[in-house]
Amino acid sequence: MGHEALDRVATPFLALDRSVVEANAARLRAHLDGLGAVLRPHVKTAKSVEVARLLFDGGVGPITVSTLAEAEAFADAGFTDVVYAVGIAPDKLDRVIALRRRGVDLVVLLDSAAQAVEVARASRERGVPVPALVEVDCDGHRGGVLPGDPAVLAIAEALVSGGAELRGVLTHAGESYFAYTPEALTAAAEAERLAAVRVAEDLRAAGHEVPVVSVGSTPTAHAVTDLTGATEVRAGNYVFFDLVMAGIGVCRVDDLALSVVTTVIGHRPDKGWIMTDGGWMATSRDRGTARQPVDQGYGLVADLDGTPYPDLLMTDASQEHGTLSVRPGSAAALPDLPVGTRVRVLPNHACATAAQHDRYHVTSPGSRAVEAVWPRVRGW
């Protein structure tokens, strides 16, 4: 297609193994098959229409977004079944309504009567009933209403009586990112389901219809064994995976689809360092594995064909400099990488690393050819 190959594109840049994305997508689909819930991928990790199409066999399907910029870009590409899974700020309702008028079934999230009143007011004033999900807190990680809190009924009442629509409930097991055993992950998935179903039942008992019960995170979606009462599962990171997910056992390092390609620009043998042209501007400042049993620095380092060097990490970063060195305590030797050598850095957190870039260079394992260049959605 005329794209420069991996050994020619100006570094640093993102390399994306398409077949790894496809395998990750197939694995989660297979896991959820028969559990009775729809998969609604979160596009916040890849922010790429082309990556999302891989998840739907080239077509479109239900998605979750983290920004209205994503909702608008994916609407342009034909994705019309969208949950905006960040609590709604009233100032954003104009854009929500504009999307609904375009035919996008965009659903907002909220966890307070104050928000419900604003959603209802906008619905009435603009003549466009906006559907909303009530956010449920299943593990104290972020926002949401606690199961059993009477605020849930006040929120539902404010929506329905005010002219908006109660679409259902949504929860996210943020604490599952800190679960380190299969049992802990399955327990987190069950806690997530039970919290959402409990609130849905409370709402039904009060006479509301609750068509949507939405649960999920990458760790719990892969661990869940029972989705009774849930109608849909969300997961985002799984399309790429990363070292944090490998650290909690949700994937293997081989399942990482994304890497940052950088070039060696120098050596400090007195310090055991190799310097590259990829700093935190290319990897992000995310050091998610610092909180895990195995700290991977700013990332594991592999050769340009994807084979990791023994215990070689990106251990430090300034804006446009990366420092590679051997994992502390390892007996591995620093590899001999001449100036100009290209390496791949496997990231801690794919969402954060991808966000540093405007595009993906799409390739296949074992090949240096770039099949395509896919843009990312940016901004808000």
CA gap 113, 136 in Å, rounded? 14
CB of 67 to a copy of itself, least distance (A): 6
258-268 and 342-346 as β-strands: parallel, antiparallel, unpaired? antiparallel
Q: 175 vs 232, which CB is nearer to a copy of itself?
A: 175
SS3 of the chain: helix, strand, coil, percent, to 5: 35, 25, 40
Residue pair 87/143 in contact (Cβ under 8 Å)? The answer is yes
CA distances (Å), 46 to each of 42, 217, 228, 352, 356, in order?
A: 9, 15, 29, 10, 12
Q: Indicate which single residue of 66, 123, 289, 325 sits in contact with a copy of itself (rule: CB under 8 A).
A: 66
Q: Which stretch binds a copy of itself (CB under 8 A): 60-68, 212-220, 226-234, 329-337?
A: 60-68
Enumerate the H helices of 206-349 as residue ranges.
Answer: 218-223, 243-247, 280-283
Answer yes or no whether residue 92 interacts with a copy of itself by CB under 8 A.
yes
Q: Indicate which single residue of 53, 320, 327, 335 sits in contact with a copy of itself (rule: CB under 8 A).
A: 320
Answer yes or no whether residue 130 interacts with a copy of itself by CB under 8 A.
no
Answer yes or no whether residue 291 interacts with a copy of itself by CB under 8 A.
no
Q: Give the binding-site size for a copy of itself (rule: CB under 8 A).
A: 62
Cβ-proximal residues to 150 (8 Å cutoff; 6+ apart), any chain? none
Q: Indicate which single residue of 31, 267, 327, 368 sits in contact with a copy of itself (rule: CB under 8 A).
A: 267
If DSSP codes are grouped into helix, strand and coil, which group holds residue 154? Answer: helix
Beta bridge partners of 15: 259, 361
Answer yes or no whether residue 358 interacts with a copy of itself by CB under 8 A.
yes
CA gap 361, 373 in Å, rounded? 5
First to last CA, the chain: 31
CB of 339 to a copy of itself, least distance (A): 4
CB of 26 to a copy of itself, least distance (A): 25
Site string for a copy of itself, 227-266 (x = CB under 8 A): ------------------------------------xxxx
Q: 231 vs 323, which CB is nearer to a copy of itself?
A: 323
Closest by CA to 282, choosing from 339, 342, 365, is 342
Q: Residue 36: which region, alpha, beta or left (left: phi > 0; alpha: psi -120 to 50)?
A: left
CA gap 246, 241 in Å, rounded? 8
CA gap 171, 360 in Å, rounded? 31
Answer yes or no whether residue 148 interacts with a copy of itself by CB under 8 A.
no
Q: Which stretch binds a copy of itself (CB under 8 A): 18-26, 141-149, 160-168, 306-314?
A: 141-149
Q: Indicate which single residue of 102, 124, 291, 378 sits in contact with a copy of itself (rule: CB under 8 A).
A: 378
Task: Give me the phi and psi of 69, to 5 degrees please.
Answer: -60, -40
Answer yes or no whether residue 88 interacts with a copy of itself by CB under 8 A.
yes
Answer yes or no whether residue 338 interacts with a copy of itself by CB under 8 A.
yes
Q: Indicate which single residue of 5, 23, 26, 89 sits in contact with a copy of itself (rule: CB under 8 A).
A: 89
Q: Indicate which single residue of 60, 86, 160, 184 sits in contact with a copy of itself (rule: CB under 8 A).
A: 86
Q: Indicate which single residue of 13, 79, 240, 241 sits in contact with a copy of itself (rule: CB under 8 A).
A: 13
Answer yes or no whether residue 356 interacts with a copy of itself by CB under 8 A.
yes
Q: Indicate which single residue of 103, 127, 140, 366 sits in contact with a copy of itself (rule: CB under 8 A).
A: 140
CA gap 374, 360 in Å, rounded? 5
Answer yes or no whether residue 72 interacts with a copy of itself by CB under 8 A.
no
Q: 137 vs 232, which CB is nearer to a copy of itself?
A: 137
Sheet containing 105-110, strands listed edge to edge, beginning at the edge strand earlier in sequence: 38-41, 232-235, 212-215, 165-171, 131-136, 105-110, 81-87, 63-65
**Residue count (the chain):** 380
Q: Which residues bind a copy of itself (CB under 8 A)?
A: 8, 10-13, 44, 66-68, 86-92, 95, 110-112, 114-115, 118, 140, 142-143, 146, 174, 263-268, 270-271, 275, 277, 280-282, 284-287, 318-321, 323, 338-340, 351-352, 355-358, 378-380
